[in-house]
Amino acid sequence: MSIVTVQLGQCGNQIGFEVFDALFRDSHCSQGLCSKRDNEAYQASCRERFFREEENGVPVARAVLVDMEPKVINQTLSKAAQSGRWNYGQHTSFCQKQGSGNNWAYGYSVHGPKHEESIMNLIQTEVEKCDSLSGFFIIMSMAGGTGSGLGAFVTQKLQDQYSSSLKMNQIIWPYGTGEVIVQNYNSILTLSHLYRSSDALLIHENDAVHKICAKRMNIKQISFRDLNRVLAHQLGSVFQPTYSEDSSFHYRRNPLDSETVGQACLMPRIFVWSLSATNLSFYPQTGDLMEHLVPHPEFKMLGVRNIPQMSAASLAYSTFTWAGLLKHLRQMLISSAKMEEGINWQVRPPLSGLPPIGKASAHKEHHFNTSLANLVVLRGREVHSADVEGFKDPALYTSWLEPVDAFSVWKTQRAFDKYEKSAALVSNSQLLVKPLDMIVGKAWNMFSSKAFIHQYTKFGMEEEDFLDSFALLEQVVASYGSLGP
């Protein structure tokens, strides 16, 4: 089962390159800490999902690149070719000479309809090169015009034309201090439209990734490429093949797959690939991911956290235990921490029976993060000794789902990247309620004073379109707020 990635706009194309590069480098790493047979199955899984072979033997990314300006696409294609490891295919990119001017309406209402046929033809050509299509992974930002507006348009068309294939949008949440003056408008319009057409929204906040670069990676002058490499690492730690919890002999391979593979599959639709020749079946399929983590269409926002994350210099002097990693990851979950530094250890599950630590723990700022569903992905040495019972505590979850339905774990002894042991958490929880509420509030303040509305209405939008977006997202905030305390 294969995934077709659609890279949209400057942000989407730059991140897309780093994701494919991280996936390829990891799958060909000689330090995998597993048997040769397992490593070969792991590599085959990654290749089938994200790459195809050309006649010259160079792996080609299963991707379509779209931007309304040529500069970033040309740079992206050039970097892939110069890497010598993998490449993008010929005739898989589409660009024009005029951007979207950071205007969601221009990307959605002008560029979308004008270039729909060309873009969808490129996607169809790439789909036809898949033996079996698992789904689409769409990488885009929310702040600008092309990634957000055209991205929302393309996602809707994918829903129309490939309704039975799963669609996951990886969205970059803008800096809170502001990148574009109308970024809040662009963001609410993007989110509301994707909520109607996408199966899941995998969200990364620029502010959080920036802090990881500064405090965990010890980067002094942080560039967008530094941010994108952290994002690529987080995505790769989830999307690379793993075993499902109840089958240590089945490597699940495709996170977006919409079919189950065998009786051992806990999650029928996210990342599944089978290798009958080796009797290995690699996990994740996107379908498996979404079947498990998105049990209701009103709850589609997913967050990703990784542990450990650190510079190579620091890693050389660090050792990790599964007990320590999972203790930190669990506390990151319940306290809404984005990284292991600065975790609030005073937050505890409200029903755990444990007394609060000090009077401050009763304050509102120590808010417990209630989960709808969680997936933990463990990779590395002695992984089968890792105890994940702490994530099965009913107090972590909303009352209308049992932990057996709300939690899953995928494991593989095959290490990821440079880490001997690593853990990733994909969570559908209240983590993103606060930033969503803030961005809706900022957009409403602008809208109530009619600021910049004319820039959108001149491209066919009406004020009712904004009101519809506000209403939908306010309902999302209310729904997540109702999960727990």
Q: Which of 161, 68, 182, 145 is nearest to 114 (CA)?
A: 68
Q: What per-residue confidence (pLDDT) applies to 135?
A: 93
The model carries a pTM of 0.90
pLDDT at 354 over 60: no
- Between CA 424 and CA 319 the distance in angstroms is 17
pLDDT at 364 over 50: no
Task: Please report, rounded to a whole number, the percentage of residues in the chain having pLDDT higher than 90.
Answer: 68
User: Do the beta carbons of residue 203 and residue 173 sit within 8 Å?
Assistant: yes
What pLDDT score does 466 carry?
97
Q: How far apart are CA 232 and CA 228, in angstroms?
A: 6
Say what the pLDDT of residue 418 is: 86
Spatial CB neighbours of 481, under 8 Å, sequence gap ≥ 6 = 430, 433
273 contacts 46 by C-beta, under 8 angstroms: no
Other beta carbons within 10 angstroms of residue 160's beta carbon come to: 10
pLDDT for 245-289, tens place per residue? Answer: 554 445 554 556 554 333 333 232 333 333 333 334 454 556 677
Half-sphere exposure of 363 (CA within 13 A, CB side): 9
Q: Is the dihedral of CA 39, 43, 44, 49 positive or negative?
A: positive
Beta bridge partners of 281: 274
Kindly report, residue by residue over 3-60, the tens digit of the pLDDT.
999 999 999 999 999 999 999 999 888 766 777 888 888 888 888 899 998 768 899 9
Mean pLDDT is lowest, of 92-96, 185-189, 236-240, 270-274, for: 270-274
CB-based contacts of 275, cutoff 8 Å, min separation 6: 41, 44, 45, 251, 253, 281, 282
Nearest alpha carbon to residue 459 among 109, 161, 73, 40: 109
Distance CA 262, CA 281 (A): 9
Residue 157 confidence (pLDDT): 98
Q: Summarize the confidence of residues 302-324 as an average pLDDT.
A: 91
* Range scoring the smallest mean pLDDT among 63-67, 193-197, 243-247, 264-268: 264-268
pLDDT grade for 477, boundaries at 50, 70 and 90: very high
Digit-coded pLDDT (tens) for 213-232? 999 999 999 999 999 999 99
The C-alpha atoms of residue 303 and residue 204 are separated, in whole angstroms, by 7
Between 183-197 and 463-481, two packed helices, what is the crossing angle to 10 degrees? 70
Q: What is the mean pLDDT of residues 133-148?
A: 92
